[in-house]
């Protein structure tokens, strides 16, 4: 396991070496959150409930959803694309290490640093809206932790599969941007998925996207019963298994196409 722990530790060291850039990234990523909070305050000016959400639960949702996004959303697909196009991927193929495991460790280390650095401004936003912010039900903490851990693995599995498209296209930036935008919408980062039109919501909630942000955020709010939480955790595991199978198949196909150009 040491060979998989080390990439995570190196990622943490690198993030702290460039901590000013990381802090700037975190600060600017929170600006939209502040705007969204004030937007919902205006929307609820003459309303008590919107799809079962009070102003307290809605503002808590958007703050918690942003926290989960920073903690869980991977960005390693851009690095994999660079390694494929430059030929640097070859150095991993000659070593006794799983490429999937290497990037999982490195991504986990990077996300940990980002979460620590962003905790302070997130707490400030929550305190500025403390009359609206809700704390989780103690009974839901175990389910919440399990959901967040599985969401991290699910997020990673999705993006690892997406990153493998780098083997098939020379210029893939527009595809990555499209995926990022779609997942931000369909995961529930911007608003609860229950606000979507019902036919569309019924489709999305049966896809893996709903279990990235929306599911753990609703556990935090105490909106899900024990049976719903267990069903959601089971669904996360199923999708992780499905994506793992697809990733293994896609990796084998990618290796048959990889020519180590630029190495």
Q: Is residue 159 part of a domain?
A: yes
Distance between CA atoms of residues 188 and 217, nearest Å: 9
Is the CB of residue 66 less than 8 Å from the CB of residue 30? yes
Q: Is residue 262 part of a domain?
A: no
DSSP state of 39: H
Number of domains in the chain: 1
Choose among 237, 226, 212: nearest CA to 73. Answer: 212
Is the CB of residue 64 less than 8 Å from the CB of residue 219? no
Distance between CA atoms of residues 170 and 203, nearest Å: 32
Return the minimum-mean-pLDDT range out of 67-71, 123-127, 182-186, 247-251. 123-127
Neighbours of 256 (CB within 10 A): 8
Residue 155: both structure tokens together: 């997020």
Q: Is residue 178 part of a domain?
A: yes
Distance between CA atoms of residues 188 and 170, nearest Å: 31
Q: Is residue 263 part of a domain?
A: no
Residue 188: both structure tokens together: 């529930």
Residue 87: both structure tokens together: 């030929």
95-140, pLDDT tens digit by residue? Answer: 777 887 887 888 887 777 777 777 777 777 777 777 888 887 667 7
Task: For residue 25, give its domain range.
Answer: 2-257
Q: Is residue 161 part of a domain?
A: yes
pTM of the model: 0.84
Question: Which pLDDT value is given to residue 216?
Answer: 94
Q: Is residue 35 part of a domain?
A: yes
Q: Is residue 8 part of a domain?
A: yes
Checking if the pLDDT of 261 tops 60, the result is no
Q: Is residue 253 part of a domain?
A: yes
163-208, pLDDT tens digit by residue? Answer: 888 888 777 888 888 888 898 889 998 889 999 888 898 899 889 9
DSSP assignment of 173-212 equals: HHHHHHHHHHHHHHTTSSS-GGGS-HHHHHHHTTSGGGGT
Choose among 205, 203, 8, 244: nearest CA to 104. Answer: 8
Q: What does the longest C-alpha to C-alpha distance in the chain come to?
A: 63
């Amino acid at each position: 396991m040491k060979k998989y722990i080390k990439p995570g530790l190196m990622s943490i060291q690198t993030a702290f070496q460039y901590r000013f850039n990381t802090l700037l990234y975190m600060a600017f990523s929170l600006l939209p959150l502040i705007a969204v909070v004030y937007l919902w305050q205006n929307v609820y000016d003459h309303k008590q409930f919107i799809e079962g959400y009070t102003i307290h639960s809605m503002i808590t949702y958007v703050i918690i959803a942003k926290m989960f996004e920073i903690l869980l959303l991977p960005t390693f697909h851009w690095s994999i694309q660079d390694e494929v196009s430059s030929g640097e991927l070859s150095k991993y193929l000659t070593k006794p290490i799983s490429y999937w495991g290497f990037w999982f460790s490195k991504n986990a280390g990077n996300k940990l640093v980002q979460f620590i650095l962003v905790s302070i401004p997130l707490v400030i936003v929550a305190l500025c809206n403390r009359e609206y912010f809700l704390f989780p039900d103690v009974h839901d903490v175990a389910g919440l932790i399990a959901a967040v851990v599985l969401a991290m693995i699910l997020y990673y599995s999705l993006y690892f599969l997406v990153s493998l498209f780098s083997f098939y296209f020379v210029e893939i930036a527009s595809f990555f941007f499209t995926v990022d935008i779609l997942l931000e919408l369909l995961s529930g980062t911007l608003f609860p998925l229950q606000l979507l039109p019902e036919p569309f919501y019924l489709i999305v909630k049966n896809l893996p996207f709903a279990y990235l942000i929306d599911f753990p955020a609703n556990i935090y709010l105490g909106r899900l019963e024990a049976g719903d939480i267990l069903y959601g955790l089971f669904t996360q595991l199923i999708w992780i298994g499905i994506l793992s199978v697809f990733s293994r198949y896609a990796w084998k196909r990618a290796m048959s196409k990889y020519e180590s150009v630029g190495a």
